[in-house]
Structures are given as C-alpha cells and as structure tokens.
Amino acid sequence: MKKEITITLDNEILDFVDQLASNRSSFINEILWKEKKRTFIQELENAYREQDQDVDFQAEFTVWDITVGDGLDA
C-alpha cells in the first residue's frame, strides 16, 4: 500500500536527489527501505549480543543442547 505525502527538503538535497534519480519518490523510498533494513539488522545484532551475555539463557541453552545430543535418532 502506498500513501501520498508532502515533505520539505533543502534545495541542496533536492538537487542531489534530482541528479541521482528520475523518480524522486522511488529514490527516497529505496533509501528509507535500506535504512529500515539497516536498523533492523543493528537491533538484531544487539539482541544476539545481549543474549550471548545472558548467563541464565546460556545455561538453559546448554541444557537443551545436551538434550538434543542425547543419542535419540530422529
């Protein structure tokens, strides 16, 4: 779904956008999607880092790791 909005850009930024793209909306949309992805990946990395430092989680993970490797065939 798309929604039409109005934004205000500095003249210098608008000139820059016009130099790089023939379709302003598509160009800005693409940049914002990339930023959204970058933000998500950063948040995911932070969550993994936090999880890696969580002693309780690591202890629980070890228990499950042992259970998985207990010799039962799937």
Per-residue pLDDT of the chain (74 residues; tens, 9 = 90+): 999 999 999 999 999 999 999 999 999 999 999 999 999 999 999 999 999 999 998 888 888 877 776 666 65
Name every residue whose Cβ is closer than 8 Å to that of residue 20 and which is 6 or more positions away in sequence.
Answer: 27
The 8-class DSSP code of residue 53 comes to: T
Query: How much is the pLDDT for 73?
Result: 64
Which sequence spans correspond to the domains of the chain? 11-68
Query: How much is the pLDDT for 72?
Result: 65
Query: How much is the pLDDT for 63?
Result: 81
Query: How much is the pLDDT for 71?
Result: 67
Rounded Cα–Cα distance for residues 27 and 45 (Å) = 27
- Count the helix, strand and coil residues of the chain and give each as a percent rounded to the nearest 5: 70, 0, 30
